[in-house]
Amino acid sequence: MKYMLLIYGAEDSWTEEEREACMVESMGIGDELSARGKYLDSSPLEPAATAATVRVRDGRAMVTDGPFAETTEQLGGFYILELEDLDEAIAVASRLPPAKKGTVEIRPVLELDGLPPSRPLPGGPAEAGSGRPFMLLCYDDEGAWTSAGEEAHRAAMAEASALARELSEAGRYVSASPLHPTELATSVRVRDGLRQVTDGPFAETNEVLGGYYVIMARSRDEAVQVASRHPGARFGSVEVRPIFDLSALRGAAPIS
């Protein structure tokens, strides 16, 4: 089953040296999982200060600088993995170095018909004209979707899939998927060498992460324009975050 591992932590809890060592160690774990056929994708995100949040109300797009939620611990990166079950996902999450200072939230990925095949993130600076990768984090009010009804939810899923196909045809699509509801979320922390596992998401909020896109865009403004077309922006918020370029760290020895 596919799982998304969401890495939350306080951005000011790491020195630059610790952050680089964390990234190198995390890449080593990713390489190990790839060799076992369990790795699909991962990346850290640029700091929350680079984010933009998009909402569409009454047909008007409202864009604000900053992340979806102003919290001490922000989403700092993600993994997409193909794993046997939740127990294996917990085992992987507890090995990730950010679990020692923050939280790793585990969410099962919901398979959606009609999405284009995923493609790997660029391995270095994008070619001229192709832009850079951005992550679109779709935060939904699950209660609002319940009130809207199943037919409205199916129509929104179809609209989101159509947008993904359009982006794919334009060479702007990397990957996308909805997530299962937060009632299936699991949060993992490691403190003083002891693993702490709790049911539920990292944070209890009205709007929760319901899915994601990874796209290529020439600028944050272009990524915001795509986010404003996502149906989730009409019921919740879409946070736009640039993805961190790891190419300069590739080839560094894993930190033991």
* pTM confidence score: 0.91
Q: Is residue 56 part of a domain?
A: yes
Name the domain count of the chain.
1
Domain harbouring 144, CATH code: 3.30.70.1060
Q: Is residue 255 part of a domain?
A: no
Phi/psi of residue 66, nearest 5 degrees: 105, 170
Q: Is residue 138 part of a domain?
A: yes
Q: Is residue 136 part of a domain?
A: yes
Q: Is residue 181 part of a domain?
A: yes
Q: Is residue 254 part of a domain?
A: no
State the pLDDT at residue 125: 59
* Spans in the chain with pLDDT lower than 70: 123-129, 251-256
State the pLDDT at residue 70: 80
Q: How many residues does the chain have?
A: 256
State the pLDDT at residue 253: 46
Q: Is residue 12 part of a domain?
A: yes
Both tokens of 123, joined, read 């391995």
DSSP 179: B
State the pLDDT at residue 143: 72
Both tokens of 36, joined, read 């076992």
Domain boundaries, position 66: 2-249
Quote the CA–CA distance of 22 and 166 in Å, as a whole number.
Answer: 36
Both tokens of 103, joined, read 């939280």
pLDDT digits (tens, 9 = 90+) for 178-187: 999 889 999 9
Q: Is residue 122 part of a domain?
A: yes
